């Protein structure tokens, strides 16, 4: 069960999407999200869908992996769809019914919007190593340092958190096995029962995480960590011409969607 | 040879503790030597290690590393980059999720130009025999491999001294062997000063000097042959001598007269075989 967690997962590869600078990809994802929320008519949705399918094909990420990330969101997606179907006014599909044509159309658009939002952002984390991602984020946000925003600290915490996800998953598995061996039952009973059964897992997990954090902090100090000041990078980020082209295409894409919106398509 | 680490009547008490964990320790470690620090739990081994790179500073007394006083805050970074420190749990000292990024962490902190970091990372990984794993994710490596990555991580600072605080406590026998042979090689071939804190006697056999700690002070020190042959002292300290010494000691009680200074397994076997033949 725990192995299914796709958060922060990275599939190494050597496609054009993988090679783009993380900063470019971050900006493109932001442009993509704005475009997605600007889309209103069917034509705009079709364009956004086509663009994301194209990116998916370019990245050689298997659709299976992208859809696996959608699984946890299934409940939210169905719930939003149902609410939209039943609570939208308009012409009923069959006279007297509560379901309207407008409701169905809105439900379909909502599903598309959520699915495209998730797959789009997953495409970013799947094709960018966490280190590159946090490096890119740090550089993009670095102007905020002027206003005393602790950008380096925030991105450092983020990359540490990503680094410890597999370690903590392993540890959770271990603790669960240990509690199971002593008769704990995590699978049966009501939701409340199963939730309370997790307490003996969470308490040792928290305690050991704090101990880990303490040891990690000492180990980092031993390796001369003293904040972001005067730090250099082994892997420096370089914007290539491909990045400039990609950014230009991204801006054109957003502009196109806005034009479509103004045309009411 | 000159002493590179010097403890001068060091007292230290952890905040909130009743008892001092170091009670006036004085010791000195020679440049380029391989020193093993032994002692049971609570004897002050880890506190000694943490004093060597100014993670802890003495309450009274003085610790000098490469001629620098550890109590002087302005020396902090210089001391830490000269004294690499490796801890027990490799998982809690690896900071990145790619091996080479982790090794690059220390030189990045030191502000070294990126081309040189790349060189240092590759040569450090080469030294510990992990170069072929540089693109791997650390959580997929074995314990011994992770610990060697951690060693490479401090080697990238190019320290003169490397202090290892029970680096093999969480490893399987193969991992232990790999780690110990790596650090022995670093000392013998790369002329680094190695301080190994451990409670496995077998790991100290190749050391130049053994320091036995007890209740925060030095109970014995000297070449391993000397310290280990004092079976009474070892037992008093709750430590067991290496297997080879034990066998020779038991045989001596049965009427043989072996010197208790042979620590290597092969040499010991040869000696017993010779004695049996001449009987």
How do residues A129-156 score in pLDDT, each as one tens digit? 877 888 888 889 888 888 888 888 888 8
From the number of C-beta atoms within 10 Å of its C-beta (0-12, 13-18, 19+), residue B231 rates as middle
Read off the pLDDT of residues B180-217 as tens digits, 9 standing for 90 and up.
988 888 888 888 999 999 888 888 888 899 998 888 88
Q: Name residues of chain B where pLDDT drops below 50.
A: none
**B121·A234 Cβ contact <8 A:** yes
Ordered DSSP codes for B8-64: EEEEE--TT-SS-SEEEEEEEEETT-EEEEE--TTSSHHHHHHHHTTSS--SEEEEE
User: Is A144 domain-assigned?
Assistant: no
* Chain A residues touching residue B94 (CB < 8 angstroms): 163
Q: Are A257 and A222 found together in one domain?
A: no
Q: Which of A166, A216, A234 sits opposite B108 (nearest CB)?
A: A234
Least confident window among A88-102, A189-203, A204-218: A88-102
Whether A99 and A230 map to the same domain: the answer is no
Contacts of A232 in chain B (CB under 8 A): 107-108, 111-114, 117
- Whether A156 and A46 have beta carbons less than 8 Å apart is answered as no
pLDDT of residue B150: 92
Considering the domain boundaries, does residue A135 fall inside one?
Answer: no
Q: Tell whether A115 and A180 lie within a shared domain.
A: no
Alpha helix segments (H runs only) across B208-261: 224-229, 231-236, 243-253
Tally of domains within chain A: 2
Residue A2 lies in a domain: no
Q: DSSP secondary-structure letter at A21? A: -
Give the distance from residue B233's alpha carbon to the nearest chain A alpha carbon, in angstroms. Answer: 33
Provide the whole-model pTM: 0.78
CA distance A232 to chain B (A): 5
The residue among B7, B8, B11, B6 whose CA lies nearest residue B216 is B11
Q: Give kind and range of the element (H or E) at residue B155.
A: helix B143-155
- How confident is the model at residue B197, as a pLDDT? 92
For residue A145, is it within any domain? no
Look up residue A42 and give its two tokens. 């069917």
Q: Which residue of A has its CA nearest to B98?
A: A131
What is the rounded distance in angstroms from the CA atom of residue B105 to the CA atom of residue B154? Answer: 9
Whether residue A117 is found in the same domain as residue A216: no
Q: Do A19 and A117 have their domain in common?
A: yes
- Inter-chain contact B98–A131, Cβ cutoff 8 Å? yes
Token couple for B115:
């081309």
Q: Are A255 and A226 contained in the same domain? A: no
Inspect the interface and report whether the beta carbons of B108 and A159 lie closer than 8 Å. Answer: no
Number of Cα atoms under 13 Å in the Cβ half of residue A138 = 22
pLDDT attached to residue A8: 57
Distance between B251 CA and the closest CA of chain A, angstroms: 45
Q: Which two tokens stand for residue A95?
A: 């006279």
pLDDT in the model for residue A235: 81
Are A211 and A247 contained in the same domain? no
CB B154 within 8 A of CB B85: yes
Mutation target among B98, B153, B154 for the A interface, most CBs of A within 10 A:
B98
> A110 and A19: one domain?
yes
Q: Which residues of B touch A224 (CB under 8 A)?
A: 77, 80-81, 106, 109-110, 157
Chain-chain contact of A235 with B101 (C-beta, under 8 angstroms): yes
Residue A208 lies in a domain: yes
pLDDT at A1: 43
Q: Give me A140's structure tokens.
A: 């993009």
Residue A156, C-beta contacts closer than 8 angstroms, at least 6 positions apart: A134, A228
Domain co-membership, A223 together with A243: no
Q: Is the dihedral of CA B261, B266, B267, B270 positive or negative?
A: positive
ipTM over 0.85: no
* Pair A26, A111 in one domain: yes
Set of chain A residues whose Cβ sits within 8 Å of the Cβ of B112: 232
- CB contacts of A225 in chain B (<8 Å) are 105, 109
Rounded to a whole number, what is the distance in Å from the CA of B53 to chain A's nearest CA? 7
Contact B109 A223 (CB under 8 A): yes
SS3 of residue A29 by DSSP: helix
- Which chain B positions have a beta carbon within 8 Å of A11's beta carbon? none
Least confident of A94-98, A130-134, A247-251, B205-209: A94-98
CA distance B114 to chain A (A): 4
Residues A118 and A164 in one domain: no
For chain B, how many helices (H) and strands (E)? 11, 10
> What percentage of chain A carries pLDDT values higher than 70?
97
Same domain flag for A110 and A23: yes
Q: Is A233 on the interface with B (CB under 8 A)?
A: yes
Query: What domains lie within chain B, and their CATH numbers?
Result: 3-223 (3.40.50.300)
What is the pLDDT, as a whole number, of residue B161? 92
**Does A88 reside within a domain?**
yes
More confident residue, A129 or A218: A218
Q: Which helix (H) or strand (E) holds B69?
A: strand B68-69
Task: Tell me which residue range forms the domain holding A162.
Answer: 151-234
Q: What is the pLDDT confidence band of residue A247, given thresholds at 50, 70 and 90?
A: very high
Q: What percent of chain A has pLDDT over 90?
A: 21
pLDDT at A7: 55
A264 located within any domain: yes
| Tokens read off for B171 | 């490893």
For residue A223, give the nearest of B106, B111, B118 by CB distance.
B106
- Position of tokens 């998953």? A169
pLDDT tens digits along A71-88: 888 888 889 888 888 887
> Could you tell me the CA-to-CA distances from A86 to A55, A101, A103, B251 in Å, in that order?
34, 10, 7, 91
Q: What is the pLDDT of residue B140?
A: 84
Interface probe, candidates B14, B91, B138, B158, chain A, greatest A C-beta count within 10 A: B91
Q: Is the pLDDT of residue A3 over 90?
A: no
Task: Please give the angle made by the CA atoms of B132, B90 and A200, to the nearest 5 degrees.
Answer: 130
Of B33, B40, B49, B34, whose CA–CA distance to B197 is shortest? B49
Q: What 3-state class would DSSP assign to B169?
A: coil
**A133: in domain:** no
């Amino acid at each position: 069960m725990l192995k299914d967690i796709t958060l922060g997962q990275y599939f190494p590869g050597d496609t054009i999407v993988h090679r783009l600078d993380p900063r470019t990809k971050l900006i493109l994802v932001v442009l993509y999200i704005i475009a997605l929320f600007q889309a209103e008519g069917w034509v705009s949705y079709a364009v956004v869908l086509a663009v994301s399918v194209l990116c998916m094909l370019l990245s050689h990420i298997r659709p299976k992996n992208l859809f696996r990330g959608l699984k946890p969101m299934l409940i939210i997606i169905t719930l939003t769809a149902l609410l939209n179907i039943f609570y939208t006014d308009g012409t009923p599909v069959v006279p007297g019914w509560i379901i309207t044509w407008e409701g169905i159309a809105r439900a379909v658009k909502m599903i598309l919007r959520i699915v495209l939002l998730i797959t789009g952002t997953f495409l970013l984390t799947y094709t960018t190593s966490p280190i590159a991602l946090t490096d890119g984020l740090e550089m993009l946000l670095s102007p905020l340092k002027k206003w005393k925003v602790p950008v380096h600290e925030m991105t450092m915490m983020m990359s540490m958190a990503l680094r410890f996800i597999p370690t903590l998953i392993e540890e959770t598995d271990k603790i669960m096995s240990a509690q199971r061996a002593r008769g704990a039952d995590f699978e049966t009973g009501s939701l409340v029962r199963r939730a309370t059964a997790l307490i003996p897992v969470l308490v040792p997990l928290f305690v050991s995480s704090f101990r880990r954090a303490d040891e990690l902090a000492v180990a980092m100090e031993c390796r001369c960590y003293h904040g972001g000041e005067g730090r250099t990078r082994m892997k420096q980020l370089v914007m290539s011409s491909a990045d400039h082209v990609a950014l230009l295409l991204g801006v054109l894409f957003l502009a196109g969607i806005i034009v479509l919106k103004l045309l009411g398509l | 040879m000159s002493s590179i680490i010097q403890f001068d009547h060091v007292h230290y008490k952890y905040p909130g503790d009743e008892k001092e964990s170091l009670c006036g320790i004085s010791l000195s470690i020679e440049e380029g030597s391989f020193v093993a620090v032994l002692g049971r739990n609570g004897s002050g081994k880890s506190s000694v290690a943490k004093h060597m790179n100014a993670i802890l500073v003495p309450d009274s007394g003085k610790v000098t590393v490469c001629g620098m006083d550890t109590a002087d805050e302005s020396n902090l970074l210089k001391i830490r980059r000269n004294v690499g420190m490796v801890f027990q749990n490799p998982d809690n000292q690896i900071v990145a999720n790619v091996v080479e990024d982790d090794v690059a962490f220390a030189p990045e902190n030191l502000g070294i130009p990126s081309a040189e970091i790349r060189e240092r990372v590759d040569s450090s990984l080469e030294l510990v025999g992990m170069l072929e794993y540089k693109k791997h994710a650390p959580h997929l490596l074995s314990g011994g491999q992770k610990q060697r990555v951690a060693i490479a991580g401090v080697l990238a600072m190019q320290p003169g001294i490397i202090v290892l605080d029970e680096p093999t406590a969480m490893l399987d026998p193969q991992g232990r062997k790999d780690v110990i042979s790596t650090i022995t090689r670093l000392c013998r071939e790369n002329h680094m000063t190695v301080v190994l804190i451990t409670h496995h006697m077998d790991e100290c056999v190749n050391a130049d000097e053994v320091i036995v700690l007890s209740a925060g002070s030095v109970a014995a020190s000297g070449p391993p042959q000397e310290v280990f042959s004092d079976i009474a002292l070892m037992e008093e300290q709750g430590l067991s001598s290496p297997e080879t010494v034990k066998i020779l000691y038991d045989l001596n009680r049965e009427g043989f007269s072996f010197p208790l200074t042979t620590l290597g397994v092969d040499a010991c076997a040869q000696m017993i075989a010779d004695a049996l033949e001449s009987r």
